[in-house]
C-alpha cells in the first residue's frame, strides 16, 4: 500500500506539493509513482530561476526502463532544485516525501493549490490504478 501523507496535495499525474511555512511550495513525486517506476538512475531537475506554468514539464525521472516527465502542479518560479539527486537519485525511491523532493517553487498563484487533489482523492486514483 502506498504511503499518501494527509498534509500533501497531489496531481493526477502523481506529483505532490507541500506548502511550506515561508510560502514556498516543495514538489516531488509520490510513493506510488516511485514504486511504479522502479529504481531511479537519473533525475533531471529544473534550474533555479526558471519560470514554470501549471502543467508544464519541469523535470524528468529516469528508471532503468523508462524516462518520465514530471509536471509542475503549480505555476511559479523555481527557487531551488534538489542538487543531491544528481549523485543520489535513489533518494526519490527511499524517501519520496523527504530527501527525495525535486524542486521548490515560489508560487505565482497560490490559489492553484486548492485545485489539486487531497490525499483521500489521490488515494482513490492510486487504488483505481492498481486494479
Partner 1 sequence: MPFIPHTPSDVSEMLAAIGAPDIDALFDEIPAALRTPPPENLPQGLTEMQITRLMHARAQLDGQPLNFLGAGAYEHHIPAAVWAIVSRGEFYSAYTPYQAEASQGTLQVLYEFQTMMANLTGMQVSNASLYDGASALAEACLMAVRAHRQSRSARILVPATVHPDYRHVARAITTGQSLKFDVLPYGEEAGTLDLSSLERYSGQDITAVVVQHPNFFGLLEDVDAITDWAHAQGAMLIAVVNPVSLAIFKPPGEWGEKGADIVVGEGQPLGAPLASGGPYFGFMTTRMEYVRQMPGRLIGRTLDLDGKPGFSLTLQAREQHIRRSKATSNICTNQGLLVTAAAIHLSLLGATGLESVAAACQANTSALVEALTGIDGVRLRFAGPRFHEAVLQLDRQVDGVLQELARRNIAGGLDLSRHFPGLGNALLVCATETRTPEDIRTYAHVLAEILT
Among residues 3, 12, 39, 67, the one that binds partner 1 under rule CB under 8 A: 67
Cell of 107: 508560487
Q: Rule CB under 8 A: is residue 47 a binding residue for partner 1?
A: yes
Give least dist CB 31 to partner 1, A.
21
If you count DSSP H runs as helices and E runs as strands, how many of each does the chain have, helices first? 3, 9
> In sequence order, which ranges of 2-130 are alpha helices (DSSP H)?
31-37, 91-94, 119-129
| Cell reading at 32 | 506510488
Q: Which of 48, 56, 65, 84 binds partner 1 (CB under 8 A)?
A: 65
Cell of 22: 515561508
Please, are residues 98 and 8 in contact by the beta-carbon 8 Å criterion? no
The reply to whether 42 sits near partner 1 by the rule CB under 8 A is yes
Grid cell for residue 110: 497560490
Q: Is 48 in the site for partner 1 (CB under 8 A)?
A: no
8 vs 102, beta carbon nearer partner 1: 102
Contacts of residue 93, defined as CB under 8 A and 6 or more positions apart, other chains included, come to 34, 35, 39, 40, 100
**Closest to partner 1 by CB, 69 or 127:** 69
**Interface with partner 1 (CB under 8 A), residue from 69, 94, 109, 121:** 69
If the CB atoms of residues 41 and 110 are measured against partner 1, the closer one turns out to be: 41
State yes or no: residue 44 binds partner 1 (CB under 8 A).
Answer: yes
Residues in contact with partner 1 by CB under 8 A are 41-42, 44, 47, 62-67, 69
Amino acid at each position: 500500500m502506498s504511503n499518501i501523507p494527509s498534509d500533501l496535495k497531489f496531481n493526477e499525474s502523481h506529483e505532490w506539493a507541500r506548502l511550506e511555512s515561508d510560502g514556498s511550495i516543495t514538489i516531488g513525486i509520490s510513493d506510488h509513482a516511485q514504486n511504479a517506476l522502479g529504481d531511479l538512475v537519473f533525475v533531471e531537475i529544473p534550474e533555479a530561476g526558471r519560470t514554470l506554468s501549471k502543467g508544464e514539464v519541469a523535470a524528468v525521472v529516469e528508471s532503468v526502463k523508462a524516462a518520465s516527465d514530471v509536471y509542475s502542479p503549480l505555476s511559479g518560479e523555481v527557487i531551488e532544485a534538489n542538487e543531491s539527486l544528481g549523485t543520489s537519485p535513489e533518494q526519490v525511491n527511499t524517501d519520496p516525501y523527504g530527501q527525495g523532493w525535486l524542486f521548490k517553487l515560489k508560487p505565482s498563484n497560490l490559489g492553484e493549490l486548492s485545485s489539486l487533489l487531497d490525499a483521500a482523492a489521490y488515494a482513490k486514483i492510486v487504488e483505481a490504478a492498481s486494479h
